[in-house]
Amino acid sequence: MGPQGVGKGTQAALLSTHYGIPAISTGDIFRYNLKNHTPLGVKAQAYIDRGELVPDELTNSIVRDRLAKDDAAGGWILDGYPRNASQVDALDSMLKGLGTPLDKVVALHADRDVLLARMSRRAKVEGRSDDTPDAIARRLDTYERETAPLLDVYRDRGQLVSVDGSGDVDSISKTIIGLLG
C-alpha cells in the first residue's frame, strides 16, 4: 500500500520474483481490460466516461476472481488494493472464503514532492495519460483521505510493515524482504 508514485508496482514485481508468487495489480488488470475492450473493460469504461470511479463491487469481483486462480494458491502480492474501508471488508471476506490468511501489509511512504517528481517522469517515459499534474494531485489527495487511514486497521491487527519508499529501489526491496522474514 502507499500513495501513487511511491514504487508499489516496482516493489511488487521484485517481491513477486523473490518469493515466486504473482503480483496482482488492480490498475494493470483494469488497463488491460480497457485496452482490449473486454466485457470488464467495457463495464469499467462506462463509469470512467461519466467521470465516475469504478464501483467497489466491480473491483472486488476482479480481485476475488484473480485470487481464486491456481497460481495464487501459494501466495500473492496485491498492488493497489484495498483502497478504502469497504474494500478491506471485502478482502477479509474473500480471504476467509478462500481459506487464505493475510500475512503482512507493506506500506511504502515518501514525501509528496518525491511522488510528484516520480509521476511526472513516469508520464513522460511511459506516456501515461492519467499522470497529468491535476490528476496526480487528485489521486494523492484521495489516497490521503480514503486509503491512508486503512494503515491504522492493519497496524492494529499487527500486520503492518512500514518502509520509506524514497530511496534506492534495491535497498527498499532488501529492507522489505528483511522485515517480512
What is residue 54's predicted lDDT score, i.e. its pLDDT? 84
Per-chain mean pLDDT for the chain? 91
Q: Which CATH class is domain 8-180?
A: alpha beta
Selected catalytic residue, list 8, 31, 43, 155? 8
pTM: 0.87
For 56-74, the pLDDT digits (tens) are 999 999 899 899 999 999 9
Selected catalytic residue, list 128, 138, 157, 174? 128
Q: Please confirm, yes or no, whether 8 is among the known catalytic residues.
A: yes
Mean pLDDT of 65-88: 94
The grid cell for 82 is: 484495498
For the CA atoms of the chain, what is the radius of gyration? 16
Selected catalytic residue, list 43, 64, 122, 155? 122
pLDDT value at 100 more than 70: yes
The grid cell for 30 is: 483494469
What is residue 85's predicted lDDT score, i.e. its pLDDT? 94
Residues whose CB falls within 8 Å of the CB of residue 55, separated by 6 or more in sequence, listed in order: 47
User: Considering only CA atoms, which of 33, 31, 14, 22 is closest in space to residue 68?
Assistant: 22
Residue with cell 526491496: 173
Selected catalytic residue, list 35, 139, 155, 174? 139
Q: Please confirm, yes or no, whether 155 is among the known catalytic residues.
A: no
Domain ranges of the chain: 8-180
Q: Which helix (H) or strand (E) holds 106?
A: strand 105-109
Q: Please confirm, yes or no, whether 138 is among the known catalytic residues.
A: no
- Helix, strand, or coil (residue 130): coil
User: Considering only CA atoms, which of 22, 162, 169 is closest in space to residue 104?
Assistant: 162
For 171-181, the pLDDT digits (tens) are 999 999 999 98
